[in-house]
Structure 1
Amino acid sequence: MNHTYTYHVVEGNARSVGKKEAQLLKQTKPDNIPFFTSLFEGKKERFTEAEALFRMNETWCPGLNDEIEGFAEELGVSPESVVWYTATIPRSSNCSQFAILPDRSAAGTVICGRSYEWSLEDELTLRTIRIKGRYAHTGFSVFVFGRLDGLNEAGLWVSMTAGNPGPNLPQNRGFRFWALVRTILDRAATVKEAVEIASSFPLAFEVTLLTADKSGHAALIEKGPDYQSIARADSGVLFSTNHFTLPGVRERQPEIHRHSQLRSQYLAGALARGGLSSESAERILRAPFPDGLVTHYFSEWFGTLWSMYADLSTGALKVCFGPPDLTGNEYRAFSPSDPAGTQSFPVEIPEATAPAGTWVLIPR
């Protein structure tokens, strides 16, 4: 089946960027406007909480309200009706990520990679945003304003994997992970700054964040609503799939999915040797499951929608739209400095059924 990915580059003040995002939606996906401007899952009670939601957004995601107001104005709706304020998702994504630090890379630089697995119910939009007072960044979006991953102009990488092997998400008052990823990309230039933002951020999710900077520092942050554990590294490698591994949080998960264990074992082996390069990262990302990362099980919320990697010294992302194990799905370069405009990329995405045992829960 053919699907179209979009790459959208906008710049300006926050309000004008929001208006441009709405204009893109009207031009490319007008049928999706009701989704982005309606109460998600019928949460009418959130209208009565609008003022509190705006305050919370401004405290933890500074400037984002201005973007949303511009978006709403362009679409002729009230800001509180924009789906960002009421969004939740039915289950966690199934992804993989890694960071190769200078002592393990052939060029002595930091190389990061990630594979994003989800269903075809996705925006399929890569965005570069340049707003005065924030770091320009490139990353995939969710609910327009959130980010699933990205690289900013300071050379800071952020990506995520879901940490909860079950379908139930926390319902405490807080943000989903995409708000945290966006805030880090906007505000942090170093791993130290990213960790500071993440540590106090009110989260209603269980997530593993991977962040790295071009100076050779990295951190794995396993975080839930009221707990977290952080592994910092200046050498070696860091990686995660879809279960917690750090002391203090791994004990919360007595069982994990077999697919997460298999991908974790694959990454451990693939990253074990030294002299790794950007080409090594691409080979790691192209290998098919169960002996690699790439999957085609989109109807089971476990298909590779994209993968990407970056040598942080170059300031550019290499992105493959669709599963990278398919002939014709190549990696393309994108950067926070790309010129403003919009591009489309048609991609063939085949469907398959996960092999028996993929979803089995196994004891740790």
Structure 2
Amino acid sequence: MIVHEWFTETTSVVDRGAEFGARWSSQLQHARDDYLRLFIQSGVPEAAARRTAKECFDAVAALAPEIAEEYRGMARGSGLPLPDLHLLAARTEILAGVTTSQECSTIVHVPHDARAPHTLQTWDWHQTLSNETIVQQFRSSTGSRITTFCEFGQPAKIGVNEHGVGLHFNILHHESDGSRVGVPVHVLARMILDRARTLEDAVSIARSTPLAASTVLTVVSFDGTTPRAAAIEVSPVGIAVLPVDRGSTFAHTNHFLDAALAAGEHCPYETSSHPRYRCLTDAAALAEIADDRDRALAFGAIPAAPISVRPVPEEPEHLRWETKLTIALDVAAGAIAFAPAAPADIQQSQWRRVGAE
């Protein structure tokens, strides 16, 4: 997988969107074509996908108009129809309820002392999709410097801001997914990175944002003296906040940990979520390793660890998953560090660091 990097100082959201669209028009077009194919393979007709995307962006226009404006600029710069870009931002909502993702394993350690949280996540996705992705760094409409990894056409995914707030992102599946109109979960991630200066801010934003699909945002923060973290499990019927104590390690994969939300779990296909979760919790001490690359290498050295997901050739294309990225957050420096590889393959891959330093 190729991870492109893009940095801009453009402050106008429309102009920034246009600049991005002009620079990455080919990648946006390919992403649009790939996702239209995935929707059909997953049993979602194109007309239904477009209807869901429009409903989602009607909600974005009401609750995060600056992001809606950025997408208008992106359409202008790329030459793609605006509804096509909405398809990319709302892909989780379009697929909600029809496919269970083997997507992502996250672990966070919150030190006892005055050090920032240590984090690590894998990003698992379709083997044949999103083989070009991007790390963006820009100033949001609030003036906050954001660094985020995401797919082309998404406003954000995993990332940090300059105020010491960062988030990891794991998909979840609930029986209420698709039952209401709401903001795409990737837009919620961007709203938190844009607006939050504290963990409480992130929780407040999540509580006040209606959603059409489920996910968990594991948010970490550091103000220079106090490390903090909490998992925010969100769904169309409500949210749960799972705080992480000082000196503790917390893991999350793709099943709800809150008992009330877990009662509505929806899994139409077999998932590796529980084995990956056990792998992380069994090796929780490795999350205390201070250096982010060493931390990734340690998890990669676990024999036959299921967190390094390998594609199964016999599976249909739309059910063939692999780990495409391993990423860590440094909220003290406003940076992310990553390699386009599973943990087991970090040794053979370049470990990159991008941030405000």
Common fold by TM > 0.5: yes
Distance in 2, matches of 1:189 and 1:307, equals 25
Identify the residue that residue 164 of structure 1 maps to in structure 2. Answer: 173
> Is the contact made by 2:56 and 2:181 (CA closer than 8 Å) also made in structure 1?
no
Cα displacement (A) at 1:212: 0.7
Deviation at 1:274, TM superposition (A): 8.5
Quote how far apart the aligned CAs of 1:258 are. 6.0
Change in Cα spacing, 1:130 to 1:34, as seen in structure 2 (3 Å) is same
Contact 2:90 2:184 survives alignment (8 Å):
no
- Residue 281 of structure 1 is matched in structure 2 by 295
- Residue 27 of structure 2: aligned partner: 29
Give the structure 2 partner of residue 112 of structure 1.
119
Correspondence list, 1:20-169, <5 A: 20-26=19-25, 29=27, 32=30, 35=33, 41-43=45-47, 55-76=58-79, 79-84=82-87, 87=91, 88-89=94-95, 91-93=99-101, 94-103=103-112, 108-119=115-126, 120-122=128-130, 123-164=132-173, 169=177
Tell me whether 1:15 sits opposite 2:26 in the alignment: no
Per the alignment, do residues 294 and 169 of structure 1 end up closer, same or farther by CA in structure 2, a change over 3 Å counting? same
Given the superposition, is the C-alpha separation of residues 86 and 205 from structure 1 closer, same or farther in structure 2, using an over 3 Å criterion? closer
* CA distance in structure 2 between the aligned counterparts of 1:305 and 1:149, rounded to whole angstroms: 14
Alignment of 1:180-219 (within 5 A): 180-215=188-223, 216-219=227-230
1:77 and 1:83 map into 2 onto residues whose CA distance is 11
**Partners of 1:319 and 1:331 within 8 A in 2:** yes
Any gaps of 5 or more consecutive residues in structure 1?
Answer: 338-364
Residues 261-302 of structure 1, C-alpha deviations (whole Å, 9 max, x = no match): 111111112214795323553235424674351122175442
1:146: how far off? 2.6
Deviations 1:182-207 (A, max 9, x none): 11111112111000001121111121
Tell me if structure 2 keeps the 8 A contact 1:83–1:143.
Answer: no
Range with bigger deviation, 4-13 or 277-286: 277-286
Shift of the alpha carbon at 1:158?
Answer: 0.9
CA contact (8 A) 1:112 1:312 kept: no
Using the TM superposition, give the Cα deviation of residue 308 of structure 1 relative to its aligned residue in structure 2, in angstroms: 0.7
> 1:243 corresponds to which letter in structure 2?
H
| TM-score normalized by the length of structure 1 | 0.78
CA 1:33–1:194: 2 relative to 1, 3 Å: closer
Q: Is the 8 A contact 1:95 1:116 kept in 2?
A: yes
Among 256, 273, 279, the alignment partner of 1:266 is 279
Partner residue of 1:253 out of 245, 261, 265: 265
Pairwise CA distance, 1:335: 0.8
1:311 offset after TM fit, Å? 3.4
Deviation at 1:219, TM superposition (A): 1.0
Change over 3 Å in CA distance of 1:272–1:250 after alignment to 2: farther
Distance 1:305 1:100 in 2: 23
**CA RMSD for the aligned pairs?**
3.4
Distance 1:253 1:46 in 2: 26
One-letter amino acid matched to 1:212: V
Alpha-carbon distance between aligned partners in 1 of 2:52 and 2:285, rounded to the nearest angstrom: 53
Q: How do residues 232-247 of structure 1 correspond to structure 2 at under 5 angstroms?
A: 232-235=243-246, 236-247=248-259
Distance in 1 (CA, whole Å) between partners of 2:266 and 2:83 is 40
1:305 CA drift (Å): 0.9
Q: Provide, for residues 298-350 of structure 1, a one-character-per-residue CA deviation record: whole Å limited to 9, x for no partner.
A: 7544211101113322322111112242242132111146xxxxxxxxxxxxx
Q: Which amino acid aligns with 1:263?
A: R
Identity between Structure 1 and Structure 2 (%) = 20
Secondary structure of the corresponding residue to residue 65 of structure 1: helix
Cα distance in structure 1, aligned partners of 2:291 and 2:254: 24
2:239 to 223, 228, 235: 228
Structure 1 CA distance for aligned equivalents of residues 144 and 230 of structure 2 = 20
The answer as to 2:352 corresponding to 1:335 is: no
- Native 8 Å contact 1:137 1:153 kept in 2: yes
Structure with more helix by fraction: 2
Change (3 A) 1:247 1:272: farther
State the one-letter code of the partner of 1:42: E
C-alpha separation between the residues in 2 aligned to 1:48 and 1:97?
Answer: 29
User: Could you tell me how far 1:257 is from its partner in structure 2?
Assistant: 5.1
1:151-193 CA deviation, whole Å, 9 max, x = no partner? 1111211111122289x95342113321111111111121110
Matched length: 330
Structure 1 residues 92 and 143 mapped into 2: Cα distance closer, same or farther (>3 Å)? Answer: farther
Higher alpha-carbon deviation: 169-178 or 287-296: 287-296
Residue number in structure 2 paired with 1:344: none
1:16 match: secondary structure: helix
Q: CA shift at 1:38, angstroms? A: 8.9
1:302 aligns with 2:321: yes
SS at match of 1:209: strand
Rounded Cα–Cα distance in structure 1 between residues aligned with 2:153 and 2:183 = 15
